[in-house]
Structure 1
Amino acid sequence: MCLETLVGRGVAEFEYTYDFGDNWQHRVVIEHVGVAYPDVDYSLYLDGERAAPPEDVGDPPGFFDFIEAMANSRHPAHKDMIRWYGRPFNPRDFGESAVATTVRDIAAKRKVAMLAFERSRQTR
């Protein structure tokens, strides 16, 4: 189901589960629905914070154990976690510039596709 359908039905908040095996539950709150401006290339990156858990880190308590071990060089699992993950992990660094670039790239590709679609409709 798309967000447009949910908003149309008056839904302002919902939950979904990512990775049913590890049971990562998320609550999504639709804070604002604005007008889509034709001269804006969507999708837009607005803001973000905190890194996502690495794949296969386990359930939420497993992620907290991972963060604790990564943050403390004296933790018994620290070296194993560095080896497993491949580098240090900072939960505050989510790679904001890379995220912003990726979203801009998606918007550019979407714009090209939309323009091609519009041209295909005009030639009929």
Structure 2
Amino acid sequence: MNKKNNKSRLLYQLKVTLVGSKPPIWRRLIVKDNTGLDQLHSILQVAMGWDNYHLHQYKIGKSYFGIPDHDFDMDIRDERLVYLRDIISTPKDNFVYEYDFGDGWEHKVILEKIFPLDFSNTPVVIKGKKACPPEDCGGIWGYYDFLEAIKNPKHEEHESMIEWVGGAFDPDEFDMNMINKELDNLK
């Protein structure tokens, strides 16, 4: 797994689902097969709606990929040296992208389809459902507690949660055009 030959040959259609979300919070996107895992992190942050405030890692089989930190005693391989095509190459191949170790947001990433390179404008989100949970809401269970509080004006934390989230939050919102404009800024 290295970055010797970085010429893209294929397009990958990926489905990214926030593990434990019911109904599912997910995105379908098209990326090039030569997307580095470090680049994929930036793409996933935008596609899902995260703000890149926290650490992340990939779990691929029994291996972990991320940014090695010599201050921590973890066996983590350098994501900057690995392409997407090095870890998945057949439809149904999958791995886990974890964001924010405190909240533990796990995303299952599945390779759905492979297309010949057609010089498509990538990365691009082609479909999705639901809004991304707010940063630092306490993981999937904290998110459901947050939703309960903001939906019920009589809930003891309703006012503080509305203020914390900045006045309003629509869990059903998914703005593909806005996400794709932000993805354009990554290019």
TM-score range, shorter chain: 0.7 to 0.9
SS at match of 2:147: helix
Match of 2:131 in 1: 51
Higher Rg: 1
Q: Using the alignment, how far apart are the partners of 2:115 and 2:167 within structure 1?
A: 40
Does 1:70 pair with 2:150?
Answer: yes
Q: Which has the higher helix share?
A: 1
Deviation at 1:70, TM superposition (A): 1.0
Deviation at 1:22, TM superposition (A): 1.5
Deviation at 1:78, TM superposition (A): 0.7
Unmatched tracts of structure 1, length 5 or more: 111-124
The AA in structure 1 aligned to 2:165 is Y
Identity value in percent: 33
Q: Using the alignment, how far apart are the partners of 1:53 and 1:87 within structure 2?
A: 15
Does 1:16 pair with 2:102?
Answer: no
Give yes or no for contact 2:99–2:106 (8 Å, CA) kept in 1.
yes
Match of 2:86 in 1: 5
Match of 1:61 in 2: 141
The AA in structure 2 aligned to 1:12 is D
Q: Using the alignment, how far apart are the partners of 1:46 and 1:77 within structure 2?
A: 36
SS at match of 2:125: coil
Q: Which has the higher contact order (CA 8 A, sep 6+)?
A: 2
Deviation at 1:95, TM superposition (A): 2.8
Match of 2:111 in 1: 30
SS at match of 2:161: helix
Tell me the TM-score normalized by structure 2. 0.51
Deviation at 1:50, TM superposition (A): 0.9
The AA in structure 2 aligned to 1:79 is E
Give yes or no for contact 2:130–2:174 (8 Å, CA) kept in 1.
yes
The AA in structure 2 aligned to 1:73 is P
Tell me the TM-score normalized by structure 1. 0.74
Does 1:98 pair with 2:184?
Answer: no
**How many residue pairs align between the two structures?**
106
